[in-house]
Amino acid sequence: MGKSCCVVGCKNRFNKNSELSFHRLPKCRERRSKWIAAIRRKNWNPAAETWICGRHFVSGKKSNDPLHPDYVPCLFSFTSTADQAWAVNSLESYQHCQEDFEKALANTSREQAASGLLKLHRSTASEAKVQTVEVPGTEVPTEETHSDVASLHEQIKSLSRLPNVQTFSLLFSFMTSVPATAKQSLKPTQELLITLMKLRLNLSEEFLGHLFGIDQSTVSEIFRRWIDVMACRLHSLILWPEREDLRRSLPVCFLTFFKECVSIIDCFEVLIECPSDLRAQAQTWSNHKQHNTLKFLISITPQGSISFVSKSWGGRVTDKHLAEHSGFLDKLLPGDLILSDQDFTAEDSVGLLCAELVTPPFTQGKKQLSRKEIESAQENSQVRRHVERVTRMLRQKYSILGSTLPVSLIKVQQNGKVEDSFIDKIVVTCCALCNLCESIVLSD
């Protein structure tokens, strides 16, 4: 059966010779509900294969950025002229904001990106201008300036684990386009600080509500709203660098045996509550942790920055399966060298890409290792320690990753893959924020 637009009165059908895009209704329940409400069909329960054409999006196609006007379709026959004009203006505002964001990132040299350090100087913070994206009926106050941020001083460093107030200032300038609520009682800087404190200290929502004079439900809404946007906007800080940049700034400890190394990989797990569904219990059970967990594949560069983090899988999944199905292999080029521990037995899959996966050598079937194998194994162990330090730093900086998270934040598929996971957004945000801090390798 061909694709046809589900909007009443729209007769567009998919044609491979046409540039008109078609989009399936999202699986995420919250976003799906927004799409259904926007389409306005009475007594309608859309099937899994329900499509909507690009004519109902301002840019001609959907966007997965919650700040983008095309996050939800908005152009219909019943849309007023004023609302259509607002949608076009919102797209222009969004594009201008994105341009400023990309320029700010571009100011960081490619070598700095390769080493995973985003050095934020005072001049950058003082010159940064706050950009906003308009939201109908709710607007973030623009009179709040960076002088408000500067007044937080040392509290920011201790409560958020950001390296300095300039980093917070620049982060705030990127995030001021977070949609406000109709009953917003806190300044945007306070909302951002609540979000960072929740990540950093994992304080209860009740305690944060008491601290800021708001109720628990408001804290929960603030945290979800900011994490939704931060995960989307900051994901570009988890950067896979160019090969020439990696080679130019390769640490000394890699030069002897691993000068072609582009990545050190490992898996880390986040504890979750035990799901009520028996299949989900089995898929998320981790023999390693003896607990229900979500498992992530993480990659760091030789310089110590996080260059890749996968979506979450149930804790039962093997490291090999996660490496082969997470999208990590798509990053590799011929000649690349990847370091891992013995649990990653994906040499064949990596070899098909003309790359090489190096794991510690086994003594099985050998009386002893050669001198070269011993030296290589020692160097491998030394440099692999960096990824362990990064994952340990993640949990130390952001206590929320070391706690047991509610199972209501995830939905597990039958194959063990996780969908609709808010925990994924938390992990991406924490990894991106880690890349704003000093590299653990530079102290070696």
Question: Are 186 and 99 contained in the same domain?
Answer: yes
pLDDT of residue 444: 45
pLDDT of residue 286: 92
Q: How many CA atoms lie within 13 A of 35 on its CB side?
A: 28
- Among 194, 218, 237, residue at a domain's last position: 237
Is residue 420 predicted with pLDDT exceeding 70? Answer: no
pLDDT of residue 404: 92
- Cα–Cα distances (Å) from 60 to 2, 48, 78, 97, in that order, read 20, 22, 18, 19
pLDDT of residue 25: 92
Question: Are 199 and 171 contained in the same domain?
Answer: yes
In a domain, 1, yes or no: no
Is residue 129 predicted with pLDDT exceeding 50? Answer: no
Distance of alpha carbon 390 from its chain centroid, rounded? 16
Is residue 146 predicted with pLDDT exceeding 60? Answer: no
pLDDT of residue 408: 83
- Among 237, 254, 280, residue at a domain's last position: 237
Which residues lie closer than 8 Å to 246 by C-beta, 6 or more apart? Answer: 114, 262, 301, 302, 303
In a domain, 27, yes or no: yes
Question: Are 272 and 410 contained in the same domain?
Answer: yes
In a domain, 369, yes or no: yes
Is residue 68 predicted with pLDDT exceeding 70? Answer: yes
Whether the Cβ atoms of residue 235 and residue 225 lie closer than 8 Å to each other: no
- 356-409 pLDDT, tens digit per residue, is 888 765 444 455 556 655 665 666 666 667 777 888 888 888 999 989 999 888
Question: Are 421 and 321 contained in the same domain?
Answer: yes
What is the span of the domain harbouring residue 290?
Answer: 243-434
Question: Are 108 and 184 contained in the same domain?
Answer: yes
Is residue 140 predicted with pLDDT exceeding 50? Answer: no
Is residue 143 predicted with pLDDT exceeding 90? Answer: no
CATH number for the domain harbouring residue 383: 3.30.420
Q: What is the mean pLDDT of residues 160-186?
A: 70
Question: Are 329 and 254 contained in the same domain?
Answer: yes
Question: Are 224 and 249 contained in the same domain?
Answer: no
pLDDT of residue 132: 35
In a domain, 10, yes or no: no
- 271-298 pLDDT, tens digit per residue, is 999 988 888 899 999 988 899 999 999 9
Neighbours of 99 (CB within 10 A): 11
Question: Are 413 and 291 contained in the same domain?
Answer: yes
Question: Are 219 and 194 contained in the same domain?
Answer: yes
pLDDT of residue 125: 31
pTM assigned to the model: 0.66
In a domain, 362, yes or no: yes
Least confident of 72-76, 176-180, 221-225: 176-180
Question: Are 216 and 305 contained in the same domain?
Answer: no
Whole-angstrom Cα distance, residue 155 to residue 3?
54
Q: What is the total count of domains within the chain?
A: 3
Question: Are 60 and 111 contained in the same domain?
Answer: no
In a domain, 7, yes or no: no
In a domain, 408, yes or no: yes
Is residue 23 predicted with pLDDT exceeding 90? Answer: yes
Whole-angstrom Cα distance, residue 304 to residue 241?
12
- Among 218, 237, 256, residue at a domain's last position: 237
Question: Are 303 and 223 contained in the same domain?
Answer: no
The more confidently predicted of residues 32 and 349 is 32
In a domain, 8, yes or no: no
